[in-house]
Amino acid sequence: MDQTERRAPERGVTVRPVTPRQRAARAARNGGEPTLEFAELVPYDAYVRASALHQLQQPLSDDPGEMSFLVVSQIMELYFGLTCHELRDAQRLLREDRIADALAPLRRATLHLEGLNASWKGLRWMTPADFNRFRNLLGEGSGFQSAMYRQLEFLLGLRDPALIRPFRRQTEVHAALTAALAAPSLWDDVVALLARQGFDLPADLLDRDVAVEHDPNPAVEEAWVRIYVDGGPDNQLRLLGEALSGVAEEFGDWRWNHVKAVQRTMGAKVGSGGSAGLAWLQRSMARVVFPELWSARTAM
C-alpha cells in the first residue's frame, strides 16, 4: 500500500488522498455539485468512523434524558484524550527546549478544555428527579472511574497512586496509568526547563520521585517572579507561563463545573462510586495545578 494511503481501523477501507488538481477536476466533472457515488464506504465515514461512533450509545433505560447524560459523558472522554495528546506534545517540545513551539499545543489544549467545559451545558436541564429516573441502573458507575481523566490529572501534576487501584483487573489500562504515574508531569518538565534556562533550583527538587505529587517550592516561585519582570513580546518563558495559566484556569473551571453539576443533580447524596460525592469533589479542588505559577503572582 502506498505510504500516503491510510486504512480505517477494523474496516479495511482505504482513505485515499487527493491533490488540489484532482479536486478541481472532480468539481468540474460534477458541475459544482457534490459527489454522490463512491466505490466503497463514504470517505467521511472511513476517516471519522461516524457510523461506529453512533453505535456506542447503549442507554440502560427508556428515559429520553439518559441519552444526553451518556453522550455528554462520551464527549468529555474524547476531550480528556485530546487534551492529553496536546499536553504530551508540549512535553516533548519542552524537553527539546523548543519553548516557542510548545506554545501551540498548550494553546490548543486550552481551547479543547473550553470545549470540555461547554459540554456541561448539555446537562443543565437535569434535576435530581431527572437523574433519579435512571441513576440506579448505573450501579457503581461513576466519572471518578475515568482512566483518561486520571491520565489528564497525572499529566497536570495531580498524583495519587491509590487512584489507579480500580483498574487492576484491566491490565492494559492499569499499565498505562502506572507508566503515566512513573513519568514526569508537564510541570516537572517545566521545572526542569527552568533549571536548564539558568534558574537556580535545588538538586533534590530536580531529582525527586515524580510519582509523588509536587510540593510547591520557593525557588520555583522566585523563578517565575523573575520571568514576569520582563513583559516584552520576546520573553518566551513569560509566554509559556501565560499558556500554562490558560490550561490551569480551564481545568480548574471544569472541576468547578463538575461540583456545580453534582450539586444540581444530586445535592450532597453519597456518590455512585462510593465516595462522599459533593464533599469529596470539594476537597479535591484544594489541590492546585502549577502551584508556583499562581503563588508567584503575590510577589510580582
Tally the C-alpha atoms within 13 A of residue 96's C-alpha that lie toward its C-beta: 9
Does 73 share its domain with 42? no
98 and 13, same structural domain?
A: no
Residue 135 is assigned to a ligand binding site: yes
What mean pLDDT comes out for the span 87-103?
Answer: 98
Parent domain of 26: 6-53
Q: Establish if 184 belongs to a structural domain.
A: yes
Q: Is the pLDDT of residue 7 over 80?
A: no
Share the mean pLDDT of the chain.
Answer: 90
What is the structure's pLDDT at 3?
45
Q: Are residues 31 and 124 in the same domain?
A: no
In a domain, 1, yes or no: no
pLDDT interval class at 275 (50, 70, 90):
low
pLDDT band at 143 (very low <50, low <70, confident <90, very high): confident
| pLDDT tens profile 23-33 | 999 899 999 89
61 assigned to some structural domain: no
Number of domains in the chain: 2
Pairwise CA distance, residues 212 & 208, whole Å:
8
Residue 272's pLDDT band, with cuts at 50, 70 and 90, is: low
Question: Is residue 149 located within the same domain as residue 292?
Answer: yes
Span 98-120, average pLDDT? 98
| pLDDT over 70 (residue 4) | no
Do 36 and 158 lie in one domain? The reply is no
pLDDT given at position 165: 92
C-alpha to C-alpha distance for 188 and 220, rounded to whole angstroms: 11
Residue 263: pLDDT over 60: yes
The CATH number for 91's domain is 1.20.58.480
178 and 95 co-located in one domain: yes
Distances in Å between the Cα of 247 and the Cα atoms of 83, 84, 155, 253, 263 are 10, 11, 12, 10, 25
Q: What is the mean pLDDT of residues 264-274?
A: 70
What is the tens place of the pLDDT at every residue in 286-297?
A: 789 999 999 999
Is 15 in the same domain as 152?
no
Would 121 be classed as within a structural domain?
A: yes
Q: Do 30 and 78 sit in the same domain of this protein? A: no
pLDDT of residue 66: 96
Q: What is the pLDDT of residue 13?
A: 63
Looking at the domain assignment, is residue 224 inside a domain? yes
**Residue partners of 264: CB distance under 8 A and separation at least 6:** 124, 126, 127
> What average pLDDT does this structure show over 121-136?
94
Q: Is residue 128 part of a domain?
A: yes
Q: Given this model, what pLDDT does residue 284 score?
A: 73
| 270 has a pLDDT exceeding 80 | no
83 in Cβ contact with 75 (< 8 Å): no
**Which of 47-61, 131-145, 262-276 is the least confident region?**
262-276
Q: Is the pLDDT of residue 5 over 70?
A: no
183-228: per-residue pLDDT in tens? Answer: 999 999 999 999 999 999 999 999 999 999 999 999 999 999 999 9
Does a structural domain hold residue 291? yes
Q: What pLDDT is recorded for position 277?
A: 59
One domain for residues 48 and 77: no
Quick one: 42 and 74 in the same domain?
no
- 193 is a domain residue: yes
3-state secondary structure at position 8: strand
Indicate if the pLDDT at residue 1 is higher than 50.
Answer: no
| Same-domain check for residues 39 and 89 | no
Contacts of 47 (CB under 8 A, 6+ apart): 8, 15
**160-178 pLDDT per residue, tens:** 999 899 999 999 999 999 9
Same domain, 259 and 289: yes
Identity (one letter) of the amino acid at 3?
Answer: Q
